[in-house]
Structures are given as C-alpha cells and as structure tokens.
C-alpha cells in the first residue's frame, strides 16, 4: 500500500538517516553472516562443497530433517486449523487458557522442551520403564526427534490463523449453513478459501523452524551418526571437529532453505498482502 501524500513531515535528511541505519543494520546482522556462511562453505571450491554434502552421514542428516518436517508440519497444520477454528468460531469456557497453552512452546526454552520428553519417555522417566519393557524406543530415536519438533513448532499455524479467523467472524459460515451446507462443506468451500494464504504463511514458518530446530532436538537425539542426527546437529558436530568447510556447507543448505522460505513468504505478502493483511491490521 502506497500513500501519495506523506503524512509525516520529516526532512529528507532525517528520512535518509533512518533508512540508512535500517539498511546498515540489515547488512551487518543479516546479509553479512549469510554471505560469510556461503563464503566459508565454498572456501575450498565447489568440489569440496559437494563432497561435504554428499557424504552418507550428511545425506542421512538431510533425510532425517526432511522426514521430521514432513511429519511435524502436517501434524501442526491439522492441529492449528482445528484449534483456531474452535477458538475463533465458538465460545466456550477456558478459551483464553487454551490460547495461552498454544503459546507455551514460544515461551519455554527449547532445551526444556526436549528435557520434558526425556523426563517422560527416558529410561528413568514416567513411562520409560514400560516402554523399555515393550521394546519401544521414543527418546534417542526418530520418534523423540519428531515429538520434540512438533512441540516447538506447535504454535506457528494456530498463531497465524486465530486472529485471521476471529477477524473474519462467523457470518459467511452461518450463511452457508442456512443454505444447507454440512460441516465439512462449510469448511472446505467457505472457511478454507478464506484462510488459505494465512495458512500457507503459517505452514512456511512452521516448516522453517522444524528444519532448523536445534536445542530441543539435541536433547532427545542421542547423536547417533547417520541415524539420529538432523542437519543442525550435524553442523555442530562438524564444527566441533574443526571440519569448517563441511560444517558450513551443510549450514549453507539450511540457510538456503531459510532463504527459499523467505522468498516464498515475500511473494505471498506481495501478491496476497490484502488478504494476509487482515491478520495484521
């Protein structure tokens, strides 16, 4: 949205100074580190770069990261839509408590989120002994990693949808119902089209975090090479081993994923800003 008349009457000098500070800040704290990552990754040329990312252990870390995201994101998508639907379209007791609960993973340190699962499913934990007796491994295996990832990425979709759906109100759904549509029809024909861009936006953020999560996953991973290491964990290990080129090569993959997310997000905002804007006005 562009305004023809600038309501703020600052001199150009002030305007450019502010703009300059903003740009400098972005260059220093965002662009420079990203450039440094790619620079370090390619320090020994493309050959070393591809050797580093096609290493079987690196590949398995990449695979595990994608598997984790492929489970965590849909799970949180279903939960997020259901929760925001409930919060936005119905009135019930304890609604604000539910909203607070949804926000919980944002306020808890990821390390604590990981430890919670160790306390629950670890051998000395609450249900750990029972799981061990039945030969089911949750922590220090893929399920633990997926659970921890779901936990930390839990609020992204719901947080995006709740204000949007609250803003939209229930009139359109009511109209659909009075014209004879059933619940699912109302959802797919009326609600979903209204929230689709907000939903996509939430899914993008959720996915970015799911792939990049370090703290919670590092606690429940067990760090078994080629088996329970995700990309962020693999980066740390390579770095600790003084294997800088490989560490930054894998880091650059993560950065690329983040950049793709950012570009997709930017495109969404540019193209469907008016619809997305509802969530933020």
Partner 1 sequence: MKQKIAALAFSLALISQNATAFAAEAPTNILNVSYDVSRELFTQFNQLFAQEWDAKNKTKFEIRQSHGGSSSQARAVLEGLQADVVTFNQVTDVQVLHDKGNLIPANWQTRLPNDSSPFFSFPTFVVRKGNPKNIKDWDDLVKAGVQVVFPNPKTSGNGRYTYLGATAYALKKFGGDKAKARDFAKALFSNVPVFDTGGRAATTTFVNRGIGDVLVTFESEAYGIRHEAGEDKVDVVTPSVSFLAEFPVTVVDKVVDARNSRVAATAYLQALYSPSGQELIAKNFYRPRDAAVTQKYAAQFPAVTLVSAKDFGGWDAISKEHFADGAIVDQIYVNK
| Binding flag, residue 225, partner 1 (CB under 8 A) | yes
**Contacts (CB under 8 A) with partner 1, residues 139-178:** 139-143, 146
| Binding flag, residue 222, partner 1 (CB under 8 A) | yes
Q: How far is the CB of 234 from partner 1 (least distance, A)?
A: 12
Tell me which of 71, 158, 208, 253 binds partner 1, using CB under 8 A: 71
In contact, 249 and 55? CB cutoff 8 Å: no
In contact, 238 and 247? CB cutoff 8 Å: yes
* Residue partners of 180: CB distance under 8 A and separation at least 6: none
Of 26-34, 89-97, 239-247, 253-261, which part binds partner 1 (CB under 8 A)? 239-247
Q: Phi and psi of 231, rounded to 5°? A: -55, -50
Tell me which of 83, 138, 246, 247 binds partner 1, using CB under 8 A: 138
| Binding flag, residue 86, partner 1 (CB under 8 A) | no
What's the CA gap between 162 and 184, in Å, rounded? 19
| Binding flag, residue 242, partner 1 (CB under 8 A) | yes
Tell me which of 24, 31, 82, 267 binds partner 1, using CB under 8 A: 82
Tell me which of 101, 224, 259, 262 binds partner 1, using CB under 8 A: 224
- Here the tokens at position 159 are 């947080």
Tell me which of 19, 241, 259, 260 binds partner 1, using CB under 8 A: 241
Tell me which of 135, 180, 182, 270 binds partner 1, using CB under 8 A: 135
The full DSSP string for 145-213 is: HHHHHHHHHTHHHHHHHHHHHHHH-SHHHHHHHHTT--HHHHIIIIIHHHHHHHHHHHHHHHHHHHHH-
What's the CA gap between 150 and 144, in Å, rounded? 10
If one counts every other C-beta atom within 10 angstroms of the C-beta of residue 192, the result is: 12
Contacts with partner 1 by CB under 8 A lie at: 71, 75, 78, 82, 118, 121-125, 128, 132, 135-143, 146, 222-228, 237, 240-242
């Amino acid at each position: 949205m562009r305004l023809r008349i600038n309501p703020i009457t600052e001199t150009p000098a002030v305007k450019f100074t502010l703009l300059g500070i903003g740009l400098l800040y972005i260059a220093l704290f965002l662009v420079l580190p990203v450039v440094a990552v790619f620079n370090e990754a390619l320090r020994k040329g493309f050959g070393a770069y591809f050797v580093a990312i096609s290493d079987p252990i690196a590949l398995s870390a990449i695979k595990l990261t994608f598997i984790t995201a492929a489970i965590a994101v849909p799970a949180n998508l279903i939960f997020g839509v259901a929760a925001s639907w409930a919060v936005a379209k119905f009135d019930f007791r304890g609604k604000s408590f539910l909203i607070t609960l949804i926000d919980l993973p944002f306020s808890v340190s990821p390390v604590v989120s990981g430890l919670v699962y160790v306390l629950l499913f670890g051998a000395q934990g609450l249900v750990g002994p029972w799981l061990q007796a039945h030969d089911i491994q949750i922590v220090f295996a893929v399920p633990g990693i997926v659970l921890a990832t779901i936990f930390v990425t839990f609020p992204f979709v719901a947080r995006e949808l709740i204000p949007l759906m609250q803003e939209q109100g229930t009139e359109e759904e009511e109209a659909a119902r009075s014209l004879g549509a059933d619940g699912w029809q109302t959802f797919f024909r009326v609600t979903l089209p209204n929230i689709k861009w907000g939903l996509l936006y939430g899914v993008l953020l959720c996915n970015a975090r799911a792939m990049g999560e370090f703290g919670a996953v590092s606690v429940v991973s067990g760090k078994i090479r080629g088996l329970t290491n995700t990309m962020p964990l693999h980066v740390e290990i390579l770095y600790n081993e003084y294997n800088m080129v490989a560490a930054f090569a894998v880091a650059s993959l993560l950065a690329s994923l983040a950049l793709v997310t950012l570009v997709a997000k930017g495109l969404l905002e540019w193209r469907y800003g008016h619809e997305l804007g509802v969530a933020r006005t």
